[in-house]
Amino acid sequence: MPKMKTKSGAKKRFKVRSSGSIKRSQAFKRHILTKKTTKSKRQLRGMCQVHDSDTAQVRSMMPYA
């Protein structure tokens, strides 16, 4: 039986923490930044956790993570 492949888009976007939760970066920070306030751009920095309802779907894309 061949190995299962990891979705390459998912491995670039998600990291699995040691606790088992999955972290992701914030959306809405790529372009059209001139009309966004400094406060909203600052709050989009850093990582956050994938929602519980989406965790199973992300795990199926990354079978060995």
Q: Any idea what the CATH number is for the domain that residue 24 is in? A: 4.10.410.60
Task: Provide the domain limits for residue 43.
Answer: 8-61
- Cα–Cα distance between 22 and 52 in angstroms, integer? 9
Q: How many angstroms separate the first and last alpha carbons of the chain?
A: 19
Residues 15, 34: contact at Cβ < 8 Å?
no
Residue 13 lies inside a defined structural domain of this protein = yes
Q: How many domains does the chain have?
A: 1
- Mean pLDDT confidence for 3-20: 96
Q: Is there a domain that residue 2 lies in?
A: no
State residue 48's pLDDT score. Answer: 96
User: Does pLDDT of 5 surpass 90?
Assistant: yes
pLDDT of residue 42: 97
Residue 19 lies in a domain: yes
pTM here is 0.83
Reported as a single tens digit per residue, the pLDDT across 12-51 is: 999 999 999 999 999 999 999 999 999 999 999 999 999 9
Q: What pLDDT does residue 65 have?
A: 87
Distance of CA 33 to the CA centre of its chain: 20
Residue 32 within a domain? yes
